[in-house]
Chains A and B, each alone.
Chain A
Amino acid sequence: MSQPEFRYIGQHLPRKEDRRFLIGAGRYIDDIEVPGALHACFVRSPHAHARILSIDLEAARAMPGVVAIVTGQDLALWTTRHRMAPPIDGIQAVEMDSLPIERVRFHGDPVACVVATDRYLAEDAAEQVFVDYEALQAVTDMRHALDPGAPLVDETLASNLVSHQHQAIGDVDARLRDAHRVVESVFSQHRQTHVPIETRGCIAIWDEGREHLTFHIGCQVPHPYRTALAGRLRLSESQVTVISPDVGGGFGQKITLYREELAVAALARELRRPVRWREDRMENLSASTQAREDLCRTRAAVDANGRLLGLELEILEDFGAYCFYPGNYLARVVAMILTGPYKVQDYRFDVKVVLTNKVGNAPMRAPMAITSWVMEGTMEAIARELGLDAMDVRRLNMIEAADLPYTMATGEVLRDVTPRETFEAALAAIDYAAFRERQRVALAQGRLLGLGLCTVVESTTYGSAFYKSAGIAGSGHEAAWLRIEPSGAVNVSVGLGATGQGYETALSQAVAEGLGIEPSSIRLHLGHTDIAPYGMGSRGARGGTAGGGVLYLCALDARAKVLAIAARKLGLADASGLRMVDGRVERAAGTDWADSGLTLADLARIAYLDPLALPEGMAPGLDFSRTFDPPPMTYSNATHACEIELDARTGGLKILRYLVAEDCGTVLSPVVVQGQQHGAIAMGLSGALFEEVIYDASGQNLTGLLADYLVATATELPDFEIIPMHTPSQFTPAGIKGMAEGGVMGAIGVISNAINDALRPYGVVADRQPFTPMYLRSLLRGGEAAKENST
């Protein structure tokens, strides 16, 4: 399982991006100086659900520095409504005003926009906008969203059920009927939000003469964003340039076109002055997209040995008040890939997505985060109920090399994955037998230790075929160009949107490998829609496979042409005996290679300035472009292991050790990949243990500050041990598989399993995240009686 032989791919190179960030010379949205720019501030609903009766702007308009104040009525004239109506069975078509006109649907919904000469003055004036509301009953608990008589979040729908899909494969009823045991488990995942340290923000500059909008925004998907923005403003895509500078984190929150951003763009055009907006942290926590919040239930039909015979999954997801994405976008994928590393062919799922009076949902790093927790929690439950060792139950059901390619019940195909190998590697590294002995000794001393394991099969890169089979609108392709300039300088671009991943480093290594030059000599241009090609941007973990893959293919095209020019120059019939290494052409000399004396710069000069020296019929220049639609789905896999100690008196939890064995195929940059592993695990642990968006029963958001919405700090997180493994994909360029979200999946599953292992003497099960000390302590106290009775 060693990495294949590459010269530049896989090199341990520190990041190209770092220097500018380290010296304070990064360029984020707020660092861009735009003379004369006005500042926008939004007036937001204090109610979760209310009718707008009137808006009094008089006092605000008289405030110093105010240039304009607009409401949904104005925006309706200048923009089109948002319509979400993908042709997918079970999805209700919905529409959204550019700003609410008649009703607000969550605490924080924007109702007016104040534009003033500076941000302080805009905020002053926003406080003087008086909106008269008629408060309405709110839906704040998804479990009651479908009750008869529940208030309708969207009055145009018949119910709050915005998306419903189900599928049955095999004969699950028969498996449940004939099973030795049916094991039922529930998993409750709470609402979270992305919390990029840089909040959202944008700058709109309208050129009235050219009738052109330049829109600066930190964005993961510059081109699809431009399509949406131009369409909503009734502009052509040739009239809008979207520029995404350095971005202080995205994690899925910076994909969709938000109403605030559309309003700022429309205002710049109407006022013919640049307008900028910076979201403050309270707005970010209460009005930027949120994520997760779902309830899963599994019923597993098993035989006496714990073999999984059939499986049923139900998901209920709280999607919030508005559909910024299709309703099936997040939960459907969980259902399709649930079984992951385990074999079962009789499977059915039912996925219901409901609207509530909360912020609308978005993908957040691992939108399918709950998957591995549900599957591995189900394995643990089977072992617990049958009195078996959970590791034995896993082994009995796990896909092994001989099973590959393995087609899941849903039709998803696993190839080149190694769940059994990562499982055994993690188990060996944590020393399972020794742990059980330590645990026994500790328990005798009144200390609760727990060990969790969680094997993840991560869907990293969605090809167009997957989107189609999952009933999700969209394309999975990516696009790149590569230009070798007359001097031999190499410029490249791809349609991704960087938000801190280290693309300039990792993707340079893919280009370097394809072309045969040093990564340091490559300049990557990202995030500018007039420069980059139209790609689908950054989401999921597609950067490596789709972005790195298309750049690698494009670089191979470039190398072929460059070497063909070299062959002509050297008087050879073809380029078969030539290669490029570090920007120099080498020719075969017996079993060895010898320098030809030609460099990339020599050949570039010929291509541009001496075209008569080119091979016959070859066009001048060195300008390449390429698109690439990845295989339907590419999977990575990993096994996380975690040892904890639980304080029986306080419910406090300490992570004693955390390790992960991860196989993500060919790794472009081991530096970047390790950083992504750490970051994903951290986000998973932070979410499972601390973070929670809390709405009270009336729909008030109680977590509008970082003092209330708790993100893990350095003192709560452990060191991470990584066991890297590399089984390349045979179906992607260079064998790249991608990664970056599986760490979240593994972390929330492994911490759950570790906690339940520690709770075992108490006969209780933690099935509701976040695992706060208060919750764990209540479980421990509830379990005291059971423990007393059994001893």
Chain B
Amino acid sequence: MDRQAIRLHINGRDFDIEVAPRKLLSDALREDCRLTGTHVGCEHGVCGACTVLVDGRPTRACLTFAVQMEGHQITTIEAVAEGGELSQLQQALHEEHGLQCGFCTPGIVMTFEAYLSEHPDPSDDEIRDVLSGNLCRCTGYHNIVAAIRKAAKRMRGDGHVAA
């Protein structure tokens, strides 16, 4: 199958790669751009492990073709800890033991980095509703919910009224 030269804009960098039109974004990220933090768990859009941000919105990389992504801003897990410092969400997941094997974790981080930026004060039910798009087989979700709640609180300024 003929390959096509495309330019992907990922985490603020340009990647010039050649891919077949049928190549999934998840495979292009992992194989052609060597960004292996995006994980592939089901390849049919259910598990959420491959979630990345496309123009700021959570997107299943396994249901997206790489060639569709020219001209879009892609953000992956590798860009979240700016300068090596964990984001509030990552830090809270660490403190609350919100991850075990870690395979689903990047997808959850990407989903909620986007969600919390638009919904700073979600209820537990709302958190669980959004989290239901990501399967985790290890944690039972309890600690993930606690971590997201904690991160949201900190991102709001620890409950203090913003000046």
Residue numbers of A with Cβ under 8 A of B are 14-15, 17-26, 28, 30-31, 33, 120, 195-199, 246-249, 251, 280-281, 499-502, 671-672, 674-675, 678-679, 681-683, 705-707, 711, 713-715, 717, 719-720
Residues of A within 8 A of B30 (CB): 30-31
Bound-state CA distance A501–B102 (Å) is 10
26 A-B contact pairs sorted by A residue (CB < 8 Å): A17-B102, A19-B94, A20-B102, A21-B101, A22-B90, A22-B109, A23-B37, A26-B37, A120-B23, A197-B41, A197-B101, A199-B41, A249-B103, A500-B101, A501-B100, A502-B100, A675-B100, A679-B100, A683-B137, A706-B46, A706-B135, A713-B133, A714-B141, A715-B131, A717-B141, A719-B142
**Taking CB as reference atom, which chain A residue is nearest B42?**
A281
Residues of B within 8 A of A500 (CB): 100-103, 138
Smallest CB separation, B145 vs chain A (Å): 7
Smallest CB separation, A116 vs chain B (Å): 13
Residues of B within 8 A of A706 (CB): 42, 44, 46-47, 135
Residue numbers of B with Cβ under 8 A of A are 1, 20, 22-23, 30, 34-44, 46-47, 49, 76-78, 80-81, 84, 86, 90, 93-95, 97, 99-106, 109, 127-129, 131-145
Residues of A within 8 A of B34 (CB): 33
Verify A197–B103 contact, CB threshold 8 A: yes
Partner of B37 from A14, A25, A705 at Cβ < 8 Å: A25
Verify B140–A678 contact, CB threshold 8 A: yes
Partner of B140 from A19, A499, A671, A679 at Cβ < 8 Å: A679
Residues of B within 8 A of A30 (CB): 30, 36, 40
With most chain A CB atoms within 10 A of its CB, the pick from B22, B39, B81 is: B39
Verify B137–A711 contact, CB threshold 8 A: yes
Smallest CB separation, B13 vs chain A (Å): 15
- Using A30-B30, A30-B40 as known contacts, say yes or no to A22 and B103 having CB atoms under 8 A apart: no
Verify A31–B42 contact, CB threshold 8 A: no
Smallest CB separation, B121 vs chain A (Å): 18
**Taking CB as reference atom, which chain A residue is nearest B100?**
A500
Verify A24–B38 contact, CB threshold 8 A: yes
- Using A120-B20, A682-B140 as known contacts, say yes or no to A246 and B86 having CB atoms under 8 A apart: no
- Using A24-B106, A197-B103, A682-B140 as known contacts, say yes or no to A280 and B97 having CB atoms under 8 A apart: no
Residues of B within 8 A of A196 (CB): 101, 103, 137
Smallest CB separation, A674 vs chain B (Å): 7
Verify A714–B38 contact, CB threshold 8 A: no
With most chain A CB atoms within 10 A of its CB, the pick from B37, B39, B136, B141 is: B141
Verify B101–A22 contact, CB threshold 8 A: no
**Taking CB as reference atom, which chain A residue is nearest B38?**
A24
Smallest CB separation, A66 vs chain B (Å): 14
Bound-state CA distance A671–B133 (Å) is 26
Chain A to chain B: the 10 pairs with minimum beta-carbon distance, closest first: A24-B37, A500-B101, A21-B102, A248-B103, A682-B140, A24-B77, A678-B140, A713-B132, A714-B131, A706-B46
Interface of A is mostly: loop
- Using A15-B94, A198-B39 as known contacts, say yes or no to A715 and B49 having CB atoms under 8 A apart: no
Partner of B137 from A14, A21, A33, A195 at Cβ < 8 Å: A195
Verify A675–B138 contact, CB threshold 8 A: yes
**Taking CB as reference atom, which chain B residue is nearest A285?**
B42
Verify A248–B43 contact, CB threshold 8 A: no
Residues of A within 8 A of B77 (CB): 23-24
Bound-state CA distance A499–B106 (Å) is 17
- Using A705-B44, A714-B144 as known contacts, say yes or no to A249 and B94 having CB atoms under 8 A apart: no
Bound-state CA distance A248–B106 (Å) is 12
Residues of A within 8 A of B127 (CB): 714
With most chain A CB atoms within 10 A of its CB, the pick from B34, B86, B137 is: B137
Smallest CB separation, A22 vs chain B (Å): 4
**Taking CB as reference atom, which chain B residue is nearest A671?**
B97
Residues of A within 8 A of B1 (CB): 120
Residues of A within 8 A of B141 (CB): 682, 713-714, 717
Bound-state CA distance A17–B98 (Å) is 12
Residues of B within 8 A of A31 (CB): 30, 36
Smallest CB separation, B64 vs chain A (Å): 16
- Using A501-B100, A711-B135 as known contacts, say yes or no to A14 and B94 having CB atoms under 8 A apart: yes
**Taking CB as reference atom, which chain B residue is nearest A505?**
B97
Residues of A within 8 A of B131 (CB): 713-715
**Taking CB as reference atom, which chain A residue is nearest B133?**
A713
Smallest CB separation, A681 vs chain B (Å): 6
With most chain A CB atoms within 10 A of its CB, the pick from B22, B76, B81, B103 is: B103
**Taking CB as reference atom, which chain B residue is nearest A250?**
B101
